[in-house]
Amino acid sequence: METLEPILAAHPFLQGLDPRHLQSIGECATKVTFEAGRLLFRGQDEATHFYLINQGQVALEIFTARRGPIMIQSLSDGDAAGWLWFPTPYHWHYDARAIFLTRALALNVKELMQRCEQDPLLGYELMKRYAHLLAVQFRVTILQLVDMYGA
């Protein structure tokens, strides 16, 4: 069986992680490919996977009744998308659509969280990285909210 650890290790989100932890994460991961136009997930669905994008481009969209889908962010090589939740399952809240052919690793969140509970060191490492991701995302949201280019 092909091991995913080298691909995991190359992704910025997991860079520098202990091989033991990479192996553990690898056991929750699947390689996925989305053709251009395909949805990775939809807003109302349960957020079952955390995506590490290796190649391609993904649009995060919010669907509005009259204006159709509004793109709020685009992700590409090296970005991550998804929620790491304890303990209640979350929903996605937005859609993700492949703009170009996109290759990614899908991590099963429920399994991943179980491993984090069992191995607090892995949990702490992942949460540090996730907190950083959320902080960056928070800053992006602030910048979008101020509408800095003016009306």
Partner 1 sequence: MPDSLAEPMLPVPYRVLKVGRETADTFTLALAAAAGDQGFSFAPGQFNMLYVFGVGEVPISISGDPDRPETLVHTVRAVGAVSRAICGLQKGDTLGVRGPYGVPWPVEAAPGYDVLVIAGGLGLAPLRPAVYHLLARRPQYGNLELIYGARTPEDMVYRQELERWRGRFDFRVHVTVDSARGDWRGNVGVVPNFIARARFDPEQTMVLICGPGVMMRFTVQELLHRGLKRENIYLSMERNMKCGLGLCGHCQLGPFFVCKDGPVFRYDLLQDWFLAREV
Q: Which range, of 15-23, 58-66, 107-115, 126-134, touches partner 1 by CB under 8 A?
A: 58-66
- The piece of 13-21, 42-50, 119-127, 138-146 that touches partner 1 (CB under 8 A) is 138-146
Helix (H) or strand (E) holding 33: strand 29-34
Nearer to partner 1, 12 or 120 (CB): 12
Of the pair 58, 109, the CB lying nearest partner 1 is at 58
Indicate whether 121 belongs to the interface with partner 1 (CB under 8 A).
Answer: no
Binding mask 71-100 for partner 1 (x = CB under 8 A): xxxx-x----------------------xx
Burial of 103 (0-12, 13-18, 19+ CB in 10 A): middle
Task: Give the Cα separation of 105 and 102 in Å (integer).
Answer: 10
Comparison of 62 and 121: residue with beta carbon closer to partner 1:
62
Of 56 and 123, CB closest to partner 1: 56
Helix (H), strand (E), coil (C) string for 37-98: CCEEECCCCECCEEEEEEECEEEEEEEECCCEEEEEEEEECCCEECCCCCCCCCECCCEEEE
Size of the site for partner 1 (CB under 8 A): 25
